[in-house]
Amino acid sequence: MKADTNRLSRRTLLKWGLGYVGLLSGGHISSSSLAEMLNGPTPRQSLGPFFPDEGDPIDAIRENPAPGIPISQANDQDLTFVKGRQGKAKGQVIYLRGKVLSAKTGQAIPRTVIIMWSASASGRYNHKEDDGMLSFPHPTTGEIIHRTYDGYFQYWGRAVTNEHGDYWFKTIVPGFYPIDLESGLYRPSHLHFQLLPPAQPKLVTQLYFRGDQIPNNALNQELLPKDVVILDAGLTPKEQERVIVDYAPDTSGEMSDGLVGHYDFVIPG
Ligand SMILES: [Fe+2]
């Protein structure tokens, strides 16, 4: 147990790479064609401190053992189990599907590598530095939440868009988690993404959740407008809406074990 378990380590805070430290110290944070038809490009947001680089994970899950592949790209697009392990990830199953489009041309972008990573259903990352505030009271109900490592959750995955620019992921809804209990700061449930289109700069962003069946839906909606990443990215209310995905039960019958959300990433020009 670390000495200061009520907030992330300073090193981790710095790794957020944003004005978060400024927020804690009372600093001011600004909240200030075809792409428009598509509701504008997907806003950029920070990478966060828990991207799975080599040596960072607690459990270095690598479904693809081929050498030379970064660990962040060594797993497939179904995060609800780990190949070779007899169990399922805890949490509400979801499917996220859509396209990757170019804001410049409006065209779909085939062969875009999408890396997605997130916390477990209880809000714990598979990352050595996610080691503080492992138990905390739910801000609404007071119930003690234990942020635990889930050995059956794949934690990060990789999808590649097909010739129509389509992608899909299957995963679980990650838990919201505290970033500073003294200040009452929590991050709403979110998925992290890094998109690597073949001929355009990469896009780093995060997507959020909404839906009657999303765990802690009301709390998540409350947390969104005061989220440090959203504030630091300076997202307008419209841009904020642009990164919230609505999830609902499947009506096609193909994905009856989960909720389904649709999101088209639009790579800024
Ligand atoms: Fe995160």
175 Cα: distance to centroid of ligand 1 (angstroms):
10
Q: What is the pLDDT of residue 179?
A: 94
User: Out of 4-13, 32-41, 148-157, which region has the weakest mean confidence (pLDDT)?
Assistant: 4-13
46-73: per-residue pLDDT in tens? 999 999 999 999 999 999 999 899 999 9
Contacts of 44 (CB under 8 A, 6+ apart): 203, 204, 205, 233, 268
Output phi, psi for 251, to 5 deg.
-110, -10
CA distances from residue 119 to 48, 90, 103, 264 in whole angstroms, order as listed: 12, 11, 30, 22
Assess whether pLDDT exceeds 80 at residue 91. Answer: yes
Active-site annotation holds for 192: yes
138 Cα: distance to centroid of ligand 1 (angstroms):
18
Residue the block writes with tokens 């599907």: 97
User: What is the pTM (predicted TM-score) of this model?
Assistant: 0.88
28 Cα: distance to centroid of ligand 1 (angstroms):
22
- Asked whether the CA dihedral 233, 243, 15, 181 is positive or negative, the reply is positive
Higher pLDDT pick, 106 / 145: 145
Active-site annotation holds for 187: yes
Beta bridge partners of 7: 180
Q: What is the pLDDT of residue 5?
A: 53
Q: What is the pLDDT of residue 41?
A: 93
Are the C-beta atoms of 56 and 131 separated by less than 8 Å? no
Give the rounded percent of residues in the chain with a pLDDT score beyond 70: 86
- Asked whether the CA dihedral 187, 188, 189, 190 is positive or negative, the reply is negative
Assess whether pLDDT exceeds 80 at residue 21. Answer: no
The identity of residue 217, as a single letter, is N
Identify the band that residue 34 occupies on the pLDDT scale cut at 50, 70 and 90: low
Q: What is the pLDDT of residue 8?
A: 53
199-249: per-residue pLDDT in tens? 999 999 999 999 999 999 999 999 999 999 999 999 999 999 999 999 999
Active-site annotation holds for 164: no
Distance CA 191, CA 182 (A): 25
Q: Which of 7, 124, 147, 187 is catalytic?
A: 187
Chain-wide mean pLDDT for the chain?
Answer: 89
127-157: per-residue pLDDT in tens? 999 999 999 999 999 999 999 999 999 999 9
Are the C-beta atoms of 131 and 57 separated by less than 8 Å? no
Q: What is the pLDDT of residue 80?
A: 98
Active-site annotation holds for 190: yes
Q: What is the pLDDT of residue 32?
A: 26
For the chain, domains (ranges, CATH) are 10-267 (2.60.130.10)
Give the rounded percent of residues in the chain with a pLDDT score beyond 90: 81
Are the C-beta atoms of 244 and 208 separated by less than 8 Å? yes
Q: Which of 7, 192, 210, 242 is catalytic?
A: 192
User: Out of 45-49, 190-194, 209-213, 251-255, which region has the weakest mean confidence (pLDDT)?
Assistant: 251-255
Question: E-assigned strands of the chain?
Answer: 93-102, 113-117, 135-137, 144-146, 156-160, 166-172, 177-180, 185-187, 190-196, 203-210, 244-249, 259-262, 265-267
Q: Which of 125, 155, 167, 208 is catalytic?
A: 125
Alpha helices in the chain (DSSP H): 10-15, 20-24, 217-223, 228-232, 237-242
Active-site annotation holds for 262: no
Q: What is the pLDDT of residue 33?
A: 39
Q: Which of 20, 95, 155, 177 is catalytic?
A: 177
Q: What is the pLDDT of residue 269?
A: 77
Q: What is the pLDDT of residue 104?
A: 87
Q: What is the pLDDT of residue 38?
A: 60
Q: Which of 127, 147, 190, 242 is catalytic?
A: 190
